[in-house]
Structures are given as C-alpha cells and as structure tokens.
Amino acid sequence: MTDLERQLVEKSQQGDIESFELLIKNYQKLAFNIAFRMLGNTEDAADATQDAMIKVYKSISSFKGNSNFSTWLYRIVTNTCLDALRKKKKDNLLSYDKNIETEEGALEREIPDTRNMPEELVERKEHIQDLAQAINALPEQHRVVIVLRDIKGFSYDQIAEILDCSQGTIKSRISRARIALKETLKKNTELYKNHYVKI
C-alpha cells in the first residue's frame, strides 16, 4: 500500500467522503468487471458494485492494513456477488448482456445487423457469448475462481486472500472448475479449439 493510499484510508476511516471517493476511484472499474463476470448482466453487476462500495465505506474502520487495501476491497466485492448469486439461484444460466463495454475493448459490443459484418467478427462474438454462458452455468465456487484467475489474472496468493482460503484450496477449486468448464466447452468444438479461456 502506497503512502498516499494509506493516508486516504486513514482519512476515510475518520469519515472523509472525498478521501474515500479518491481511494476507491482506481478500483471501481475492475470491481464492476468482476461483478459482471460473476453475475452475467450489467444491472445486477452495477447493483452489486454499489452495494459493495457501501459496505466498504461502512466497514473501512475495521480495515487494519494487514493486507493490501485492494485485496480487502475485492473480497467484499466477491462476497457481495456470491450473496447475490445465492439469492438468484432460481436461474442457473444467467442472462448475458451484449451491451457491456469492458477493458478488453469492444468485443462484447452489440452488433445490430450481422449481415454486413465480417464473418470472423460475428463468429468471435458468438464464441464470447457461449463462453460467458458456460462460465455462468458453473457452480458459484467454480465461477468465482475462474473469473478471478483466468479472466482477471489474480495470483493464487491474491485469490486465497480475497476468498479467505488456503492456496491449496484455491488451486484445487481452479483445477475442478477448469475441468468442468472444459467439459462444457467440448460441446462447442470451435469454442474449445480456439481456447478463449485458459483451460
């Protein structure tokens, strides 16, 4: 944690809202993207991100600095998303919103009329949607580790801190999650062949 971040944490713990807004500014985009990948649509992701940030603000006084602030924040985001998933268990396969714009670029931007688009682009967008649906169909413990490790690139140590588990548990969950995802993707030969996720 940088000196500036430490100062912002301390001021936030004293109730300084401006300092808190500066503190979380750099984390909101990734927090939203984690929520989107876990929940599958923009509306739920936005709600979960907002709820998580409220929780961060209300509980920041309990942050002792034993871990990175970012790790602590992403733990709250992840737990908020897991709570939302448990409330929404009636739908195993969550909807996929094609209007999202993520840091990877415009791959998931909606194509209104595919007739005039290059065939490769259309196929890639279809593959991305299929992959998102396959991830959304995973059990919540598998989904969260795939999102954190293979999509967002967190280290095993970071994921262990975020999920408050041992590194061995995390590695085991990731292994099982990749096997489950691989089995789903095998049903779509082209998607499996093109390796759109590390499996």
Per-residue pLDDT in tens (0 to 9) along the chain, 199 residues:
788 899 999 999 999 999 999 999 989 999 999 999 999 889 999 999 999 999 999 999 999 888 899 999 999 999 999 999 888 765 544 444 444 444 444 334 333 444 555 565 556 666 677 788 888 888 889 999 999 999 899 999 999 999 999 999 999 999 999 998 888 777 765 555 554 444 4
Q: Nearest 5 degrees, angle CA 59-CA 72-CA 69?
A: 95
Specify if 101 maps to a domain: no
The reply to whether 73 and 118 lie within a common domain is no
Specify if 107 maps to a domain: no
Q: How many domains does the chain have?
A: 2
d(C-alpha 101, C-alpha 171), whole Å:
30
């413990």: which residue's tokens?
A: 141
Specify if 40 maps to a domain: yes
Specify if 129 maps to a domain: yes
Residue 105 is given by DSSP the state: B
The reply to whether 78 and 123 lie within a common domain is no
The reply to whether 147 and 190 lie within a common domain is yes
The reply to whether 80 and 154 lie within a common domain is no
The residue segments making up the domain with residue 168 are 114-194
CATH of the domain at 148: 1.10.10.10
pTM over cut 0.75: no
d(C-alpha 113, C-alpha 178), whole Å:
34
CB 69 within 8 Å of CB 1: yes
Specify if 56 maps to a domain: yes
The reply to whether 128 and 75 lie within a common domain is no
Could you tell me the sign of the dihedral formed by the alpha carbons of 177, 183, 186, 187, in that order?
A: negative
Specify if 71 maps to a domain: yes
